[in-house]
Amino acid sequence: MKLLTSIVAGLASIGAVSAWPVEDEALVQPRQGGLQQVSNFGDNPSNTKMYIYVPTQLAENPAIIVAIHYCTGSANSYYSGSPYAQLANTKGFIVIYPESPYSGTCWDVSSREALTHDGTGDSNSIVNMVSYAIEQYGADPAKVFVTGSSSGAMMTNVLAAAYPEVFAAGIVYSGVPAGCFMSSSGGVNAWNSTCAQGQSQTTAEHWAQVVKDMYPDYDGARPRMQIYHGSADTTLAAPNYQETIKQWAGVFGYDPENPESAEQNTPQSGYTTSTYGDHLVGIYANGVGHTVPIRGDDDMLFFGL
C-alpha cells in the first residue's frame, strides 16, 4: 500500500537521518533537530526500529505524536512526507517515527502477539518507544497521540485498542478496524484479503468486543478517535470506513448509523464530517482513493495542540 503521490510530491527532506552511537545511548539523549535513530530504547520484542524528531525549541513537558508509515514506507519517508516534524518546530512536541522490521515494511496487525496488551508484537515495541521518550524528555504522559496512513492507520487502531492507557487520541488515515486483519493461523504480518476488500462486516457490538478482548481487564478511559477514508479506495475498500466507525461507536456507546451531526463539504469540498460524540469523528472523502492526504493543521486541532 502506498500513499497518494500528492502527499509526498514536492515535500523536501527535512534533514539527514543519523544513528546515535549505541554505546552512548544509555548516557545521553539524541541531539535535537533532525531525525535520529534510537537503538536502545528498551524492550523491543519485534525488532522494530525507532526514530525520533526532537525540535530545537522543545516545549516544557512536551506532547508526543507517534507517526506510523504505510507499507513500502519507512521512518524517513514519513518524516519527509508528512507535516509533523514541521509542526513540531512551531509547537514544540516530539515525534516518534517507528519503522517496520518486515520485508515490504507493512505492520504486524494480524498476529495474536500484536493484538494483545503487553504482547510481543510491534505494538508493544512502539509503546516502549513512548516510554523512552517520556523518561528522556520529561514528556507529558497525558499528551501522547498516534496517527498513521494505510498500514500505519491499521496500527493506529491497534494501539488505541490494545494500549488505551497510553494514548489520548488517534487519527486514522485510510485503515481498517482493529483486529480486522487477524490471521486465523496466527501469522505475523499477514495479509487479509477479506478485510482489505471490505468484506469483514459485523455489528458494532462485535467490533467493540474485539477491542476489549485486546485488553480484557481494562476499564479506564479510551482515546478519542478520528477516522478518515476515501470512497474510491481500492486498496483498503471503502466499507472499512463504516466498519471502523462501528467499532469505535460500539466502544463508546454511540449509534454508528445516526451521528449527532453531519457536515457536508467539511473540512473541504467533497468531504463529509460526521460527529458521533465527543470521542468519535468520521471524515469520508468522496472520490478520494488510497490514502486520504494528511491534514496536519486539522490534526493539531483534534489533538488539542
What are the residue numbers of the active site? 150
Angstrom distance (rounded) from CA 245 to CA 280: 8
DSSP classification of residue 263: E
What is the b/e burial string over 264-303, where b = at least 16 CB atoms within 10 angstroms of the residue's CB? eeeeeeebbbbbbeebbbbbbbeebebbbbbbeebbbebb
CB atoms closer than 10 angstroms to residue 107? 32
Asked if 98 and 126 count as a contact pair (C-beta separation under 8 A), the reply is yes
DSSP classification of residue 12: P
CB proximity list for 151: less than 8 A, separation 6 or greater:
1, 68, 69, 70, 71, 100, 105, 106, 107, 109, 175
Q: What residue ranges in 61-150 does DSSP mark as E strands?
A: 64-68, 94-99, 144-149
DSSP classification of residue 35: E
In the chain, the amino acid numbered 187 is G
Angstrom distance (rounded) from CA 22 to CA 51: 13
What does the block give as the cell for 266? 467539511
In terms of DSSP H, where are the helices of 204-284?
A: 204-214, 239-252
